[in-house]
Structure 1
Amino acid sequence: MRHPAAPMVIAVLLGLLGVLMLWGKWRGDGHHEGNPHPDDVPKKSDVLEEVENGDEA
């Protein structure tokens, strides 16, 4: 037999999940933890040429 509080616990957890998702949408600071866009990353061959030529800072 299911515990009588189980539906309430599930409802509270789902509500908290919804609030956190909405907070993330509203906050929207533009910061993204993930891989950078390919256009923002230099080509590997360019980086290797800089290292070989000693142009590395």
Structure 2
Amino acid sequence: MTLADIGANEVTYEQALEVAKKACIPEESIHSMPFPIDEEQVANALIVANQVGEEYKQNGPL
């Protein structure tokens, strides 16, 4: 699955960072992880997961 599959076409890093900022507000459950996570890590994870999804759709399993 990719971001395009859920209607989010051509997501920029800045847009991913905006989503990450909301995911990292103090009230969110992301802070229940056993290690600290910051906004940049979340944004990067969104971008990389999308890239992996795109590669999978084009080439099949790794």
* TM-score normalised by L of structure 1: 0.40
- Bigger Rg, which one: 1
Higher RCO, Cα 8 Å, sep 6+ = 2
* TM-score normalised by L of structure 2: 0.37
